[in-house]
Structure 1
Amino acid sequence: MGDIRRSCIDCAVKNCSRMQGAYPQFCLTTHMDEEVLADVMAQYENELINKVAVASAEVEAEHYCRFTRIEETMAFAEKIGARKLGIATCVGLLAESRILARILRRHGFEVVGVACKAGAQPKESIGIPAYCTEVGPNMCNPILQAKLLNKEKTDLNLVVGLCVGHDSLFYRYSDALCTTVVVKDRVLGHNPVAALYTADSYYRKLEA
Structure 2
Amino acid sequence: MNEETKRSCVDCGVYNCHTRDKEYPDFCLTTELTDEERAEVWKLYEEPENQKASVVSAQIESDFYLRYTRVQEIVAFAKRMGYHKIGIATCVGLIEESRIFARILRKNGFEVVGAVCKVGSFEKTKVGVPEEDTRITGPIMCNPIMQAKIMNREKTDFNVIVGLCVGHDSLFYKYADALCTTLVTKDRVMGHNPVAALYQAKAYYKRLSNEPIAAYPEDVNPKQPEASAR
TM range (shorter): over 0.9
Matched, 1:27 2:38: no
Match for residue 167 of structure 1 among 162, 166, 169? 169
Task: Give per-residue Cα distances to partners, 1:65-124, cap 9 Å, x unaligned.
Answer: 111111110111111111100000000000100010011111111111000001111111
Work out the CA distance in 2 between the residues paired with 1:18 and 1:71: 29
TM-score normalised according to structure 2 size: 0.87
Task: Give per-residue Cα distances to partners, 1:14-39, cap 9 Å, x unaligned.
Answer: 11112233322211122322210111
Paired residue for 2:83? 82
Within a 5 Å distance, the mapping from 1:172-191 to structure 2 comes to: 172-191=174-193
Work out the CA distance in 1 between the residues paired with 2:132 and 2:95: 25
Work out the CA distance in 2 between the residues paired with 1:188 and 1:76: 28
Paired residue for 1:69? 70
Following superposition, the deviation at residue 162 of structure 1 comes to 0.2
Work out the CA distance in 2 between the residues paired with 1:22 and 1:197: 30
Structure with larger RCO (C-alpha < 8 A, sep 6+) = 1
Work out the CA distance in 1 between the residues paired with 2:165 and 2:198: 19
Work out the CA distance in 1 between the residues paired with 2:32 and 2:16: 14
- Identify unmatched segments of 5+ residues in structure 2: 212-230
Paired residue for 1:199? 201
Paired residue for 2:121? 120
Match for residue 157 of structure 1 among 156, 159, 177? 159
Paired residue for 1:136? 138
Partner of 1:70: helix, strand, or coil? helix
Letter in 1 for 2:132: Y
Letter in 1 for 2:162: V
Letter in 1 for 2:55: V
RMSD between aligned alpha carbons?
A: 1.2
Larger radius of gyration: 2
- Identify unmatched segments of 5+ residues in structure 1: none
Letter in 1 for 2:158: L
Following superposition, the deviation at residue 150 of structure 1 comes to 0.8
TM-score normalised according to structure 1 size: 0.96
Paired residue for 2:7? 6
Task: Give per-residue Cα distances to partners, 1:17-62, cap 9 Å, x unaligned.
Answer: 1223332221112232221011101111111111111111111111
Q: Tell which deviates more after alignment, 165-174 or 192-201.
A: 192-201
Letter in 1 for 2:10: I
